[in-house]
C-alpha cells in the first residue's frame, strides 16, 4: 500500500456540527493533517448529543465520534485576541481553512479570507453557510435540514398530494460535506499547478438545488411546479415500498422494465397480472399506478420480508429490505464493509465507527478515532507553532486554551 494522496497537506478546521466535519473526515482519511479548532466555551453541540453507555460528556458522544474521525483537536477560545493570534499562526502553517460559522464570524475574529491572504497568500479557504456570503439573505443561520426547505427539496418530498415532509439522515448535511471534498481538492489541484489559492463560498441551499434537476428543469422547460410523488418514479412502475408480514416491515421494489414486472408477478404468484392489459406495458402501469400499487401490496403482505427480497433478487430484480438502524447494523455485508472501522477514543476506548464510503486499490486510508476536546493543544502549540512550555502555561491560565 502506497503513500496517501494528501500527505503533507495541513487543514485548519474551524467546522462544526455535520457538514464540514464530514468533509474533513474524508480529507483526513486521505492523509491530510486535520487540526480541529474548538472551544468548550461555545462547544460543538454534537459533543453533547448522546453519550457512551448512558453517560453524556464532551468526550463520550457516539454521534461526535461517528463523524469526527482522523483529526486532532486544539482548544482555542476564539473570543480572546490571544487565541485569534494562535489561530493565525496555525493558518500561516496550513494549506486549507474550513469553516461553517454564521457569515461574518471569522471576520470578527480577524480570520476572514481578506485577513488570511495577508499572512498566507496561497491559502485555500472554504466557508459553508445556509445561503452564501452575499445576497440580501446572506446573514441567516441554520444547518442543512432546516436549509433544504429553502432549496425546494422539502416541497417535492412527501406522499402523492401530501404536505411537505421533513427528511431523515440529517439530509443534506452529509451530501454537502461530500461535495466540499471535491471542491477543496479541485482548488488544491489548481494551487499545485499555479501557486494560487482562493476562496470557496458554498451556499448549502444552492448545492441542494443542483441536486434537483428533475424538478428544476420541469419548472424551466414547462413552467410547471412538480409536487411530491412518494416513493414512485415517472419512468418505472411498480416502484415503491410494500408491506410484508410483521409490524411496520416493508420491502422496496423497483421494476425498470416489462420483463422485470413479469418476474415480479411470478414471484407474487399472480402470473396472469403480467398479461393484464391494465398492467402489461409500462405506460399502462403508470396510468393505473394507484390500482397497481394496491394489487402488489395485497400480495406482498403474504410474504416475510427477507424471503420476498431474496426471491426477487434471485430473479434479478432491484429489491431490498427497508432498513431501520437496527436492521442496518445487523447486515453482515455492511458490518464487514471497509467503511466500518474499529478506532480508539481517549475516554471511551475502542468503538466501531463508520469511515468514508469509498475504497482505493492502492491506498490504505488513514483512520484514527475522534479526539477529546483540546487533546492536542500542547502538541500543536509547542511542536508546530513553537510556543514554549511557559507561554502555554500562561495562555492556559488566562483561559485562552479552553
CA-to-CA dists, residue 108 to 84, 86, 358, angstroms: 10, 15, 37
Task: Report in angstroms how near the CB of residue 82 gets to another protein at its nearest.
Answer: 25
- Residue whose C-alpha cell is 431523515: 168
Task: Report in angstroms how near the CB of residue 116 gets to another protein at its nearest.
Answer: 12
Q: Which is nearer to another protein, 99 or 395 (CB)?
A: 99
Task: Report in angstroms how near the CB of residue 88 gets to another protein at its nearest.
Answer: 20
User: Do the beta carbons of residue 11 and residue 168 sit within 8 Å?
Assistant: no
- Residue whose C-alpha cell is 487565541: 83
Q: Which is nearer to another protein, 13 or 260 (CB)?
A: 260
The CA angle 199-374-82, to the nearest 5 degrees, is 65
Say which of 13, 44, 173, 293 is annotated catalytic: 173
Helices (H), 195-331: 204-210, 213-222, 258-267, 282-287, 289-300, 305-314, 325-329
**Using CA atoms, how far apart are residues 392 and 332, in angstroms rounded to an integer?**
48
Task: Report in angstroms how near the CB of residue 225 gets to another protein at its nearest.
Answer: 4
What DSSP designation does 382 have? I
Task: Report in angstroms how near the CB of residue 86 gets to another protein at its nearest.
Answer: 25
Task: Report in angstroms how near the CB of residue 375 gets to another protein at its nearest.
Answer: 17
CA-to-CA dists, residue 20 to 3, 143, 233, angstroms: 25, 11, 32
Which residues fall within 8 angstroms of residue 329, CB to CB, at 6 or more apart? 335
User: Do the beta carbons of residue 214 and residue 226 sit within 8 Å?
Assistant: yes
Q: Which is nearer to another protein, 232 or 396 (CB)?
A: 232
Task: Report in angstroms how near the CB of residue 95 gets to another protein at its nearest.
Answer: 12
**Using CA atoms, how far apart are residues 239 and 320, in angstroms rounded to an integer?**
12
User: Do the beta carbons of residue 334 and residue 286 sit within 8 Å?
Assistant: no
Q: Which is nearer to another protein, 350 or 391 (CB)?
A: 350
CA-to-CA dists, residue 315 to 13, 145, 253, 309, 320, angstroms: 48, 38, 12, 10, 13
Q: Which is nearer to another protein, 322 or 385 (CB)?
A: 322
Instruction: Measure CA 3 to chain center.
Output: 26
**Using CA atoms, how far apart are residues 368 and 353, in angstroms rounded to an integer?**
10
Q: Which is nearer to another protein, 83 or 348 (CB)?
A: 348
Q: Which is nearer to another protein, 231 or 288 (CB)?
A: 231
Quick check: is 290 catalytic?
A: no
What Rg, from alpha-carbon coordinates, does the chain have? 25
Q: Which residues are catalytic?
A: 173
Amino acid at each position: 500500500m502506497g503513500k496517501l494522496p494528501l500527505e503533507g497537506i495541513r487543514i485548519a478546521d474551524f467546522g462544526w456540527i455535520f457538514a464540514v466535519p464530514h468533509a474533513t473526515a474524508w480529507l483526513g482519511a486521505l492523509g491530510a493533517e486535520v487540526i480541529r479548532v474548538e472551544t468548550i466555551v461555545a462547544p460543538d453541540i454534537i459533543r453533547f448529543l448522546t453519550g457512551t453507555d448512558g453517560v453524556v460528556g464532551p468526550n463520550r458522544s457516539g454521534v461526535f465520534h461517528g463523524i469526527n474521525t482522523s483529526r486532532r483537536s486544539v482548544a482555542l477560545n476564539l473570543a480572546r485576541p490571544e487565541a485569534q493570534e494562535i489561530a493565525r499562526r496555525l493558518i500561516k502553517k496550513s494549506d486549507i481553512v474550513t469553516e461553517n460559522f454564521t457569515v461574518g464570524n471569522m471576520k470578527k475574529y480577524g480570520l476572514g479570507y481578506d485577513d488570511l491572504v495577508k499572512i498566507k497568500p496561497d491559502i485555500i479557504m472554504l466557508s459553508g453557510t445556509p445561503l452564501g456570503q452575499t445576497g440580501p439573505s446572506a446573514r441567516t443561520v441554520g444547518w442543512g435540514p432546516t436549509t433544504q426547505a429553502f432549496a425546494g427539496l422539502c416541497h417535492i418530498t412527501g406522499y402523492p398530494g401530501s404536505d411537505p415532509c421533513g427528511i431523515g439522515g440529517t439530509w443534506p448535511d452529509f451530501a454537502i460535506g461530500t461535495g466540499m471534498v471535491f471542491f477543496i481538492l479541485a482548488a488544491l489541484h489548481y494551487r499545485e499547478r499555479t501557486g494560487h489559492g482562493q476562496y470557496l463560498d458554498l451556499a448549502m441551499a444552492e448545492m441542494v438545488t443542483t441536486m434537483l434537476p428533475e424538478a428544476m428543469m420541469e419548472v424551466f422547460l414547462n413552467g410547471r411546479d412538480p409536487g411530491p410523488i412518494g416513493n414512485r418514479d415517472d419512468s418505472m412502475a411498480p416502484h415503491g415500498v410494500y408491506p410484508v408480514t410483521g409490524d411496520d416491515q416493508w420491502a422496496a421494489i423497483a421494476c425498470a422494465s416489462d420483463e422485470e414486472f413479469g418476474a415480479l408477478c411470478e414471484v407474487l404468484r399472480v402470473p396472469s397480472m403480467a398479461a393484464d392489459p391494465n398492467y402489461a406495458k409500462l405506460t399502462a402501469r403508470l396510468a393505473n399506478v394507484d390500482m397497481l400499487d394496491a394489487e402488489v401490496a395485497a400480495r406482498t403482505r403474504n410474504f416475510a420480508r427477507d424471503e420476498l427480497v431474496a426471491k426477487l433478487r434471485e430473479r434479478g430484480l432491484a429489491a431490498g429490505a427497508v432498513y431501520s438502524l437496527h436492521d442496518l447494523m445487523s447486515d453482515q455485508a455492511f458490518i464487514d464493509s471497509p467503511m466500518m472501522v474499529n478506532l480508539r477514543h481517549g475516554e471511551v476506548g475502542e468503538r466501531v465507527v463508520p469511515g468514508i464510503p469509498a475504497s482505493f486499490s492502492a491506498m490504505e486510508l488513514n483512520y484514527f478515532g475522534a479526539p477529546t476536546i483540546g487533546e492536542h493543544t500542547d502538541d500543536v502549540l509547542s511542536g508546530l507553532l513553537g510556543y514554549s512550555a511557559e507561554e502555554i502555561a500562561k495562555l492556559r491560565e488566562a483561559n485562552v486554551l479552553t
